[in-house]
Structure 1
Amino acid sequence: MVRIYDMKQKEVINTRDGSRLGYICDIEIDLDEGKLIKIIVPGPGKMLGFFGKDMEYQIEWDAIKKIGEDIILVDLDIEKCLIESEY
């Protein structure tokens, strides 16, 4: 059993290229089904905090391959999951 707080303490790493994506900042849950749909990780930082849009990695539950003690391993195409933040 894993709590959301515990998941937010784990670093998310993409197994395709070994890149470190960061830490979970939010999740998306289907309340009707009672299922976790996505984890959300902040995207790459804006240059000097001024230029660019806020981007985030929206990682589908199916892309999560392993949740370990310190890390969450995911297998994903970065280009497809890096999306402009809605907030």
Structure 2
Amino acid sequence: MLFSELKCKDVINMRDCKKLGRISDLEFDQCSGQICKVFIPSGNKFFNLLCTEPDICIPYKDIKQIGPDIIIVDIRC
């Protein structure tokens, strides 16, 4: 799967069924090449200028399923 395909999927938290947003960035382990974390912008950002909240950081281990349209995660908000 390409990153361009991954970032078009909605991320849903399975604990409360809320849509968290879409993946904006990834963090890789330099030694293993594996994905460590995914980042989702928080709040409504207008050109990334008006939002002071940090991005939502989700450890890769908390991703439960990647489907054709959504990514299901299990995190506490």
Contact 1:13 1:72 in 2 (8 A): yes
Note the aligned Cα RMSD (angstroms).
1.5
Contact 1:44 1:55 in 2 (8 A): no
**TM-score for the superposition, normalised by structure 2:** 0.87
Instruction: Give, in angstroms, the shift of residue 23 of structure 1.
Output: 0.5
Number of residues of Structure 1 aligned to a counterpart in Structure 2:
74
The percentage of counterpart residues that share the same residue type is 36
Q: Please list the CA deviations of residues 19-39 of structure 1 after superposition, one character each: whole Å capped at 9, or x if unmatched.
A: 100011100001211110011
Off by >2 Å, runs of 4+ in structure 1: none
Structure holding more helix per residue: 1
**TM-score for the superposition, normalised by structure 1:** 0.78
The runs of 5 or more residues in structure 1 that have no matched partner are: 79-87
Q: Hey, what does 2:68 align to over in structure 1? A: 69
